Amino acid sequence: MADYDYDLITIGAGSGGVRASRRAAALGKRVCVIENLRVGGTCVMRGCVPKKLLVIGSHFADDFEDAAGYGWTVPEAGPGITHDWPALIKAKAKELDRLEGVYHRILRDNGVEEITGTGRIKGPHTVEVDGPDGNTSLSAETILVATGGWPYLPDIPGIEHAITSNEALDLAELPKRIAIVGGGYIAVEFAGIFNALGSDVTEIIRAPQILRGFDEDVRDVLAQEMEKKGITIRRECIVRSIEKTETGLSVLFPYGDAIEVDQVMYATGRKPNTSGLGLEEAGVTLNGKSAIEVDEFSKTAVDSIYAIGDVTDRVNLTPVALAEGEAFVRTVFLDDPTSVDYTNIASAVFSQPPIGSVGMTEDEAVVALGGEDAVDVYVSRFTPMKYTLSGRDEKTIMKIVVDAKTDRVVGCHMAGLDSPEIVQGLAIALKCGATKAQFDATIGIHPTAAEEFVTMRDRRGYDS
C-alpha cells in the first residue's frame, strides 16, 4: 500500500467539505482541508446566513408599521425611526467572525489540519497547494473536491461596474437606487432587503415571471406582493450595457431606454468553481456547465477523486452538500456505499413574503402523472392573522398537489409569513409518503396559518 501524507485531502472548507473532513477525522483518518478564502464557505460567509440576517433586519420596517394596529405608539416616519446600514453590516460581520471561529474549532477538535492556500490537483493522489509560503505538494489516498460555486457575470459593456451578492453583503452604504438583474431566489431576496430598508428597487428579468421552477401560483403571488411594496419588475427585458455617469450608473436596455441607479447587482446564476483546479488534466470529467461529473456515490471518472456540493451542480443547497459529505464518508471510509435521495427536498426563498416549497409543482405533477385529470389541487388564499389588525394588504397562499390515483401528496407550496418553518415539517410527511386523507385526519393547531394545510377540503377545478 502506498505511503501517503493523508488519508483524505479536501479542497474547499464550505459546508460539505467541513462535514466530510471532520467526520472522516473522527473515524481516525488523517485529514487536511485546503481553503483560500474564509472557512465556512458560501452559505456561512457569503450566502444564506448573512443574507438571512439582512432579511430579518429589513423586516423591522414592516413590523414597526404593523405595531400601530396593535396599540403601540409609533413615531412618524422621519427622525423618529431611522436605519443605520453600516451598523447592520458591522453586526453581521461580527456574527460571521464568531461562526468562522466555531468552524475552526470544530475542525481542530476533530483533528483536521487546516491549510491556507489554493489547491490544484496534479494527479490521482497529489494536490499542489499555492499558499502564503509558496508551493507545497501533498499526497492522499483520496481527494475530495468541495469548492462550491461562484456568481456569474455576463460579458456586456460596463459589467465591471456591477456587483454580485458577494459585494452586496458588504456595501459601505445603502444605495438609494439599485437595479437587480435576475429573477431567481437571490435576486428576489435582495430586492426585498433593499426595498424594505428604503432603496428604490428595479428588478430586471428575461422571463415573463420571477422564480422559474417554482409553482406558478406561488410565483404570481410573490410578484404581486413585491410590486405592492413598490418594487418595479421589468419583465422580458435584458441589459444592453452599463455606463458610469456623474450621478450614478446608467443601465441601457435594447430599445434605447435607460434607468439611472447607484448600484447594479447581478444575480443571474452561479457557476461551479472548477477553474484552475487541474481537474481535466487529472482525468476528471466536466460537463458543459463546467460542473464535475460524478456517479451516485459522488465519485468522479478518477477512482480516488470525489466531489460534493455545488461544484457538481446537482441540487445546489447547503443541506444537500452536508448530506453528500456524510454519504461520501460512509461510502469511502466505512465500506457502506451510500447515495443521497434527491426526491422531495424542501427549499425556501427568504423573499418578502417568504416561500416554502417541497415536492412537485402543479405543472410538474401534470406531466409526471399523466395529465390534468391525474392531479388534484387544493388552494387556500387568506390574510395572515398578524395583518388583520394592522391592515397590511399582504396575502398568503397555500397549495397542495395530490396524485388523484393514489391520494399521495406529491407537493406542498406556500408564500406567506413563516412559510419556510411550516414547509420543513411538511417535508417529513412527503418523505414518508403521506396521503391527502392522512393530512385531512390530522388535527390542526389553532389559530395558526399552518393548520390550513390540514383543513383544505375543496379541490380546485382547472376552469377556476
- By annotation, the residues acting in catalysis are 446
- CA 313, 319, 324, 329 torsion-angle sign: positive
The rounded distance, in Å, linking the Cα atoms of 372 and 189 is 32
Distances (CA, A) of 439 to 45, 206, 433, 445: 38, 38, 11, 13
Residue 428: CB atoms within 10 Å: 12
Residue owning grid cell 447594479: 264
Which of 297, 298, 302, 299 has the alpha carbon at shortest distance from 282? 302
Determine whether 132 is exposed, middle or buried from the number of CB atoms within 10 Å of its CB (0-12, 13-18, 19+).
Answer: exposed
Residue 61: CB atoms within 10 Å: 18
Determine whether 52 is exposed, middle or buried from the number of CB atoms within 10 Å of its CB (0-12, 13-18, 19+).
Answer: middle
Please give the helix or strand (H or E) that residue 92 lies within, else none: helix 85-109
Residue owning grid cell 423586516: 59
Question: CB neighbours of 330 closer than 8 A, spacing ≥ 6?
Answer: 336, 337, 338
Length of the chain: 464
The rounded distance, in Å, linking the Cα atoms of 125 and 140 is 5
What separation, in Å, do the N-terminal and C-terminal C-alpha atoms of the chain show? 69
Question: CB neighbours of 203 closer than 8 A, spacing ≥ 6?
Answer: 179, 180, 181, 182, 183, 187, 188, 191, 210, 226, 231, 232, 233, 234
For residue 3, the one-letter residue type is D
Helix (H, G, I), strand (E, B) or coil at 11: strand
29 neighbors 141 (Cβ within 8 angstroms):
no
- ∠ CA 200-203-209, nearest 5°, is 140
86 neighbors 93 (Cβ within 8 angstroms):
no
